[in-house]
Structure 1
């Protein structure tokens, strides 16, 4: 089971990196890190970092869209 988890996690990680550079989704990267984090502590750290980065960027985007919407009505 560990070999399958590491293989699938590695494939998802590589696909996620490629799709992050090309127009695509970063969810594959998160999925790959999640699978790898069961066995590698370093992957767990990268997973926490990427989740925090995505959370902060979503907050900034929400704030930008709200301010844009409020300025539209003035």
Structure 2
């Protein structure tokens, strides 16, 4: 198999898997499921081929990090309230 065909096959496979993971992640936003896993994985796969996906990956990482900090703060606050 020539390198050109192999490269096109790799790119197509990454793109299809990236969009599939991204789609599954979006579905899991509406349904119970691990959306926080599938969305970044899909964007990471797509960011290997597309610059726009790299931008959205960075935005989603920032968003998920902020959400984790807020959840941690809320749990600490709740723990203090329950200990009283």
Q: Determine the C-alpha separation between the residues in 2 that align with 1:18 and 1:73.
A: 38
Give a deviation string over 1:20-65, Cα, whole Å, max 9, x none.
1211111111111000001111111111111110100110010010
Residue 17 (structure 2) aligned to one of 8, 11, 20: 8
Give a deviation string over 1:2-30, Cα, whole Å, max 9, x none.
11111111111111111112111111111
Is there any run of 5+ residues in structure 2 with no aligned partner, and where? 1-9
Is 1:40 aligned with 2:50? yes
The runs of at least 4 aligned residues of structure 1 exceeding 2 Å deviation read: none
Whichever of the two has the greater Rg, that structure is: 2
Q: Determine the C-alpha separation between the residues in 2 that align with 1:29 and 1:68.
A: 29
Aligned to 1:63: 73
RMSD of aligned alpha carbons:
0.9
The two structures have a TM-score, normalised by structure 1, of 0.93
- Relative to total residues, which structure has the larger helix share, 1 or 2? 2
Q: Determine the C-alpha separation between the residues in 2 that align with 1:71 and 1:13.
A: 38
